[in-house]
Amino acid sequence: MMKLRPEIHIRQNIYFQLFFWIALFVFGIARTYGEYDGIIIRELVIYNFCHWIFQIIGANFIYYILIRYFFDRRRYITFSIGLIISLYMISVINRIFIVYLAEPFFTDLPKDSFISIFTDFRYLLFHYTFPIISGTFIFVSVMFMMRYKDEKERTALLQREKAELELQSLKAQLHPHFLFNTLNNIYSLSVSHSEKTSQSISQLSDILDYILYKGHKKWVSVSDEMAIIKHYITLESLRYHDSRLKISQHFSLNAPNTIPPLLYLTLVENAFKHGAGKSSAPTDIRIEVETNTHQSVFTIENTCTNSRNNNDKGIGLRNIQRQLQHHYQENFVFRISRENNNFKVEIITPSHYD
């Protein structure tokens, strides 16, 4: 895609120049049409055509050479000297072209000498330099507007690419947590020769499949995310006795809404990690999900023994905040609250957003 961009830019530039210079030529002819008879009109068309050619040459030289190589690099003195010299030389060449190549076709007037052409500064200024300057000014102004537009688009593209790279980096930070915790659980089961080992391996396979193949998508369905969360909860629950961990789940999926992958799963992992994982006391984890045609609401609460265990400014929640901003800009709600020994996180997102 990036290889095609210069070719597209060159093609657009050619189309613009064709349209711009043809329109300028037609406008110059139309402005004088009707003021003179047929013979003079023919001569004016020839004169305008000759001036038009050097307007194109002068404007492109000034923009692509003087402006791009000197003005843009803050070499203003060199640019100013080059501009004066180039305007003078283009005007002289334009007059020589008209006097010695164009006028012999329709007039027998004596030709001006080369000394007269080079030294008649007043005539050069008003009849040759000003037309070049007028065409160049319009051309350069439009080119600067196009440059500004291109730079804005390029900056926006770079920002999007940077955000995508940051998001992929955030997801890469999450994956090892899931794998490490789950593999530890299965290892414990295999050591005790538990019958749940094969089931746990199957659930781990589903989680890996989700992370590897759906974790890189922009959107997944809420139902797919909740299915993986159920597997994750089952695997994590193997580490704790029923008296030690109580999990309540309420899912009300009334619409096929979408969310960024791993959004809810990260919060579930945090609840286990900073709830039951940091305390030997009984822990309650409550998960509620509701979707409708307008929004998706995810709420998770877990008990904790002290405020530090929740790590509400840790990597996991910072990642969630940045992920939400990347996907929804400001069109979301992300609430974190703590009352006594209860830590709560709530996310409200649009049903679909793109």
State pLDDT tens for residues 32-84.
665 555 556 677 788 888 889 999 999 999 999 999 999 989 999 999 999 99
pTM value is: 0.55
Q: Which residue, among 63, 83, 60, has the nearest Cα to 72 in the 3D structure? A: 63
Compute the chain's Rg from CA coordinates: 36
Over residues 293-308, the mean pLDDT reads 83
Looking at the predicted structure, is the pLDDT value of residue 105 above 50? yes
Q: pLDDT value at position 310? A: 47
Looking at the predicted structure, is the pLDDT value of residue 110 above 70? yes
Distance (Å, whole) CA 300 – CA 346? 7
Looking at the predicted structure, is the pLDDT value of residue 126 above 50? yes
> Considering the chain, what is the average pLDDT of its residues?
82
Over residues 147-166, the mean pLDDT reads 76
Q: pLDDT value at position 35? A: 59
Query: 222-242: string of b/e by CB count within 10 Å (b at 16+)?
Result: beebbebbebbbebbbbbbee
Q: pLDDT value at position 149? A: 84
Burial class (CB in 10 A: 0-12, 13-18, 19+), 165: exposed
Q: pLDDT value at position 306? A: 60
- Confidence class for position 3, pLDDT limits 50, 70, 90: very low
Q: pLDDT value at position 2? A: 43
Regarding predicted confidence, which is higher, 255 or 109? 255
State pLDDT tens for residues 199-232.
888 888 888 888 777 877 889 999 999 999 998 8
Regarding predicted confidence, which is higher, 59 or 309? 59
State pLDDT tens for residues 318-339.
778 888 888 888 899 999 988 8
Q: Is 330 helix (H, G, I), strand (E, B) or coil?
A: coil
Q: Which residue, among 203, 214, 208, has the nearest Cα to 237 in the 3D structure? A: 203
Regarding predicted confidence, which is higher, 90 or 340? 90
Looking at the predicted structure, is the pLDDT value of residue 276 above 70? no
Q: pLDDT value at position 309? A: 45
Distance (Å, whole) CA 303 – CA 299? 14
Distance (Å, whole) CA 254 – CA 122? 82
Over residues 88-103, the mean pLDDT reads 90
- Confidence class for position 14, pLDDT limits 50, 70, 90: confident
Q: pLDDT value at position 40? A: 65
Q: pLDDT value at position 208? A: 81
Looking at the predicted structure, is the pLDDT value of residue 114 above 90? no
252, β-bridge pairs: 290
Token digits of residue 186: 């299965």
Q: pLDDT value at position 57? A: 93
